[in-house]
Amino acid sequence: MSEHLTDDARRRRAHATVDRVMSTLLAKDMAGFAGLWAPTGIMEFPFAPPGRPRRLDGADAVWEYVRDYTDHIDLRAITSETRHETQNPDVLVVEFSVEGLAVRTGRPYRMSYVAVIEVGAEGIVSYRDYWNPLAVAEALGADSELVAGSANAAAHQEARA
């Protein structure tokens, strides 16, 4: 079935979906967050450290990935947000920062993200999530080997560049 929406309607849909992304995160509604994906939508993590997924295929995979998010991070505020429209009315680039607490450690959780989000008729088609895995590992008290391994991998990449 073909979709016949104007570019303005498609932009409004993309913005409304990003509004729901932010509200579900703040409400700690991870089922609602995962429910924003199209059945075959993908979520990608280009900066994922070794051993962590770089791509999730489908809404069910997104749910499996985020379902215990609130066991680890108590997100309390979105402290900044800037949206950039693209030539494609279905795609927004969203820069945002959050604050909260790492549940296990009680450490502050402050993270900035850049997300490239494409929205279609059935929901999020593509969500590329750019974040700093070292900052997450530090806040969550992740194994120092993971942090060191990620730092060593980053240093190795820089040396090769």
What integer pLDDT is reported at residue 80 of this predicted model? 97
Q: What kind of architecture, by CATH, is found in domain 7-132? A: Roll (3.10)
What integer pLDDT is reported at residue 100 of this predicted model? 94
Rounded-to-integer distance, Cα 72 and Cα 46, Å: 21
Please report, as a single letter, which amino acid is at residue 122. E
142 confidence band (pLDDT: 50, 70, 90): low
Domain borders along the chain are: 7-132
Is the torsion defined by CA of 127, 132, 138, 142 positive or negative? positive
- Length of the chain equals 161
Q: How many CB atoms lie within 10 A of CB 4?
A: 6
| Averaged pLDDT for residues 18-32 | 97
In the chain, what percentage of residues exceed pLDDT 70? Answer: 86
The predicted model scores a pTM of 0.83
| Tokens read off for 62 | 């997104």
State CA 142 to chain mean position distance: 19
Work out the end-to-end distance of the chain between its first and last CA atoms, rounded to an integer number of angstroms.
Answer: 46
